[in-house]
Structures are given as structure tokens and as C-alpha cells.
Structure 1
């Protein structure tokens, strides 16, 4: 059985392995030991309720209990842009006209903004490539919304997700090469690491202050604006099924799209039900997403569930994996 559980400091080696596998441009999983260790400690404190709600950072691990192997990671940040700016480029249309020539031109441009300050963020979704089957990615992705649904007041009214931008097969990033690098003038990997491991002051110092007309860019750079990485298409599709939509915002470095949704409109948050556990036979009912109803003891699985009024009838195995007993509450999201 697969289970999503809180990350622990002891998961460092597994998390670093996932960071290495994630490749270039996966900013939220840097190959940096201090950053990853700090993230695990912050997550443990967040699940324990030792961190103020806006500063909480919940990291989730997907574990295969058949061999106790960690095969994926995801995260939820309760608030972004509060202690450091959360910059993006907004894609805008600038209209120019000449009555003398009786002509009008619409120019697409990129403008630096900090519009998502205070939003919550779901991200860091990554699975080992050989395990991307059988619903593992869906379980991991939806577990973030089950977490939010337990105590929505811990999270912002709006939730965003950033998708990795477009990279060519040879590993080059057209947007970085033709746009962002002109302002930051350091290698992409260095900028990516600094973005994940520092307070972001260098972005505030060096990011462009004036509109960038995309018509001046090479074709491959223009085409990459708002385009997600080939390995991010499945993640984008899952976000859209939950109700997330492209916000017209893109990442400063790789121009990957920012998706957003109102917290209470996210499908899994909205449709999740709080039910009381009743133990039954080993396997019956339709498979559903089930999580604990306590953030401090958070776990999520997919398992057969028979919903009987306000009761969720679970097998003893599923209840044991979740760490719940008869009469305790769980959250259930039917398929």
C-alpha cells in the first residue's frame, strides 16, 4: 500500500535523491543540503503546530509500505510573499495607436509584479520516474488538498501552483538564455539555487523594473512563455481537474506558468467529507481517497471505503496505516 505521510529529518537521504532526479529548473527541490535539511525541520515543526500558520511549510513523502521506500514528495506552503517578495512576470497587452495613420498595434509585454503575496502554494510534486503509474501521482497531488481541507483557516483564500518552464532536449532554457540571464548574469543553476536557498534579495536588486516587449525576443523564447516542461503536463492536467487555471503569470527564470484557484473551490477540498471510522471486513466498498482529520497526525491513502450515512467503513489494514481507530474522524473524497 502507498501512504502519504509527513516528512521527517530522517528522510534527508531520500529527499536529496529525489532532488537529484528532479533535474534542472525544479526550483523547489534544490540539490543543497542545508536547504533540504532546513525544510525537513520546518516541516516537522509545522505539523507539530510549533509554527505560526502563515509561516508553516508542510512537506509530504509518498512511501511504498511494501519495501518502506520513499518514492515521491510534495509540499504545501501556508503563505508566500510575506517575508520575501514573490515576484512573477505578468503577461499583459499594451495597446498603441496612431490616429494620423489610422493604425493600432497590440504589444504583448512582461511586467514584474508581486501579486500573489499572502497566497498559499502547493508544489514540489515529484515522483521517481519508474513509479509514475497506478495512481501514485494522483494520490500524492490530492493529499495536499486533503491536508488543506482539514483546517482551511490555516491556509490562504487563494492557492497557487508554479509549474516548471520549458527546457529544450539539450537542457537549455530559451527564456533564461534570451531574457532572464541578461539581467542576472549568472548561470541558471546558480540563480535557481539562490532563489530556493536565500531570502531572494538578489531578485529584488536585479530584476527588470520596466516592461519587456516580447516582440523583441527570438521565436523560441516567445513560444516558451507560459509553457510548462514536458514532464509537467500531467501535473498541469491534475491541477486543472481540481479547478486551477492559468493566471497570466509566469516565472522570472524559465517563464513556467502559475496556476491558481480559490481554496474553497478546489475540488478535493470542496468534496472531502468528515466521517467517523467504523471497522469492517478487509476489502469492500469503492476505492476512495482517505486521510486523517488531524494535521498533526496526517496520513493519506487510497483504499476501499463503504460510506454508510456519516460513517466510513474501513478495513483494519487501512485504518492501521492511517493510524486511526473506530469512532475517530477521517476525511473521505470519493473518486
Structure 2
């Protein structure tokens, strides 16, 4: 069976492998032993912590194939970004140049460095190994985060964002960064991406242009990359758009990929999820649901068939599903139709 659970210290080797597999542009998982172990430790502390409002907690989950014991994917949530380290974006704006006397009216797009998302919750670190990109595993890995947020609302902010990977080639070259590198930096994209991933972000404030950048001054390749996602990121973007996430003109400062956002209470899975009591029994239906228990440190989520007794707020699940979720008769679960 495929289950989602909090990451453990014993998952380090699998996380390191996933960091390598994910490639360039996956800033939240740098190929760095110290940082990966620190990420696991921080997640362990976050899952154990008593929380009344969002702080610096970071929740990292893994997808495990219990048949083989192999970890095949990751998914994460940051409770509130930018509280310790500045959280930068470019915001797309417009400047109008107008002369009535000359009858000239020009509208020019600009990029302004900002910290507007400070304090927002961020869903991040979504990666699924190619061997398991089937059977709606990607949907499970993405949507279960919203079930976790729905069950533990006090741990998260009123706004949730997601940074989508921008355009880069197989060698990790970003056309947007190439223009910035030529004019303001002397580091290639893989290097700057890695430094950002390991938390060394001081160079951003030191070297980034302080004034708005006129988009029409960028190279054609850089302009075309703005607000575009990497081809491998398109399915993840579509999932989030179906949840109600949309673009608000914010892009990544390195690869110009879009950041999407949603007000937490409007996210589809949060609005439509139901909380039911468990009845363990025979299930004779093909209707599949994403289901999670109500724990934090012992959180579990799966995809399973079940019979919903909506008026009684009950759900019939199989013994196998109950064992995977670590629940018994009468316990509560949260679910959403897949």
C-alpha cells in the first residue's frame, strides 16, 4: 500500500536520492548532507511541537510504498515563510509614460523586488519518483497537505502560496537568470540556486538591483521565461489551479517561475473535506477517497475505497486501510473524494 507519513531520521538516504533525482531548480532540497539532515531534524521537531499559531515550523512528509519499504516521494508545508530569512519575490507591475503634447502613451512592465509574502504558509518540496507517477499518487501527494492543514488550521496562515519551478534547460541554465548574471552577478544559475537552497541568501540583498527593472530591457529569452513553468511542473500547477490557486503577478527572483496563492479557507480540499468516524468492515464500492487520520506526529494519509454514511458522519473502511491509517473503530478521519 502507498502511505504518506512524517519524515524520519532513517529516511535520510532516500531523501538524498530524491534531492539528486529532482535536479536543478528544486531549491528546497539541496544536495547537501548537513542541510538535508537539518531539514529532517526540523521537521521532527515541528511535528512534535505544540502550536497555537504559525511560526517557523516546517512539515516534511514522505510517500512510502509499504510493499517494498521504499520512499518514493516527498511533500512539504512551511508554516510561515520569511520570519527568519528574508523571503524575496519580484512583483510584476506597470509604469505609464504619457505625453499629451507628443501624443505618446506607452505602458511598460516592471519587476520590483519585494517581501510581500512574509508570514504566508507555503506548500513545497513536492517530488514523486517516476516509478510511481501513476494511480493518482501525485494527486495524493499534493492534496493530502490540504487535509493536514484543514485538520490543524491553527498551525497555518490565512494565505497559502506555492512557488512553481521556472524555465531552465537540462544543464540547469535559466534564461532569466542568465540576463541577471550578465548585468548584476557573476554566478551561474545552479550555483545561485544551490546557495539559496542552503540558506545563504545574503547575496540577494547585496547584489540584486534595488530599483524596478524594465522588462523590455531584458533579453527576448528572459522576457519569454517570465511567469512560465518548467514542463515537468505543469501537472503540479494544474492540480493547484483546480484547488483555487491563482497568479497574482509574483515570480521567482532566480528563474522567473510564477508563485500562486490562495486564501486558506477558499482551497477546494479544505472546503469540501469531511470529518467522519471510522467503522471497520467490508467495503463494496469503487469510490476512491484521500483519507488521513487526525494526528500530527503520527499523521498518516492514504488513498482508498470507502463507503460514506454522510448523514451519520461515518465512513466504512477496510481493516487494511485502518491499519495503514493507524485508527480503530470510533476514531475520527478526514477525507475528500479523489
Could you say whether these structures have the same fold, taking a TM-score greater than 0.5 normalized by the shorter chain as the test?
yes
Report if aligned partners of 1:7, 1:59 keep a CA contact under 8 Å in 2.
yes
- Aligned partner of 2:240 in structure 1 is 239
Pair 1:79 & 2:80 matched = yes
Q: Deviations over 1:252-286 (max 9, x none)?
A: 11101000001111111111111111111155462
Aligned 8 A contact 2:95 2:110 in 1 = yes
**Residue in 1 aligned with 2:228?**
227
* Unaligned runs of at least 5 residues, structure 2: none
Please tell me whether the aligned partners of residues 181 and 187 of structure 1 are also in contact (alpha carbons under 8 angstroms): no
Of 322, 331, 336 in structure 2, the residue corresponding to residue 328 of structure 1 is 331
Q: Is the 2:25–2:172 contact (alpha carbons within 8 Å) kept by the matching residues of 1? A: no
Contact 1:274 1:293 in 2 (8 A): no
Using the TM superposition, give the Cα deviation of residue 182 of structure 1 relative to its aligned residue in structure 2, in angstroms: 3.2
Q: What is the TM-score when the length of structure 1 is the normalising length?
A: 0.96
Q: Which moved more, 1:226-235 or 1:201-210?
A: 201-210
Are positions 1:314 and 2:317 aligned together? yes
CA distance in 2, matches of 1:146, 1:275: 13
The alignment status of 1:148 with 2:137, answered yes or no, reads: no
CA distance in 2, matches of 1:105, 1:169: 37
TM-score w.r.t. the length of structure 2 is 0.96
Q: 1:171 to 1:200 in 2, by over 3 A?
A: closer
Tell me if structure 2 keeps the 8 A contact 1:84–1:199.
no
What are structure 1's unaligned runs of at least 5 residues?
none
Residue correspondence of structure 1 range 290-301 to structure 2 within 5 A: 290-301=291-302
Instruction: Name 1:4's counterpart in structure 2.
Output: 4
Aligned residue pairs, count: 335
Q: 1:283/1:217 Cα in 2 relative to 1: closer, same or farther (>3 Å)?
A: same
Q: Distance in 2 between matches of 1:193 and 1:166?
A: 16
Partner-residue secondary structure (3-state), 2:194? helix
> Alpha-carbon deviation of 1:170?
5.2
- 1:20, 1:258 → 2: CA distance? 24
Conserved in 1, the CA contact under 8 Å of 2:46 and 2:57? yes
Q: Deviation per CA, 1:47-68, whole angstroms, max 9, x where unpaired?
A: 1126774111000101111111
Q: Is the 8 A contact 1:282 1:317 kept in 2?
A: no
C-alpha displacement at 1:184, in angstroms? 3.1
CA RMSD of aligned residues (A): 1.5
Within 1, Cα distance between the matches of 2:224 and 2:286? 47
Shift of 1:160: 0.2
* Secondary structure of the structure 1 residue equivalent to 2:122: strand
Bigger mean CA offset, 147-156 vs 41-50 = 41-50
Residues 181, 26 of structure 1: alpha-carbon distance in 2 compared, 3 angstrom cutoff: farther
